[in-house]
Amino acid sequence: MLEDPLYVPVRRSSFSLALRLFRTPAGTRTAVAFTSPLRLTKALGSDQGWVRLSEPALRSMIKDLGVIGIVIDPAGMMSRPNSRTA
């Protein structure tokens, strides 16, 4: 388990934030997190919103969403997020 905070992509609305979930190349839903804002920006662009979370907090948030796990610092392996999933 990582002890340092993770930078997790989110979608912003007028009243809330929602985790962005992705799919692995095999099509399985996963959460992604980055070890620095720079890595997140390089992978997802400068307009991508993010929040800092501990790994246990992120795992707690995804445990009931049917997500297989967390991919740390993904590069070039992500597909579109599932827009219907918070």
pLDDT at 25: 87
Q: What is the mean pLDDT of residues 68-86?
A: 65
pLDDT digits (tens, 9 = 90+) for 18-72: 999 999 888 999 999 999 999 999 999 999 999 999 999 999 999 999 898 999 9
Sheet holding 6-12, edge to edge: 17-19, 6-12, 49-53
**Chain mean position to CA 11:** 10
* Concatenated DSSP letters of the chain: ---S-EEEEEEE-SS-EEE-EEE-TTS-EEEEEBSSHHHHHHHH-TT-EEEEE-HHHHHHHHTTTT---EEES--S------TT--
pTM over 0.85: no
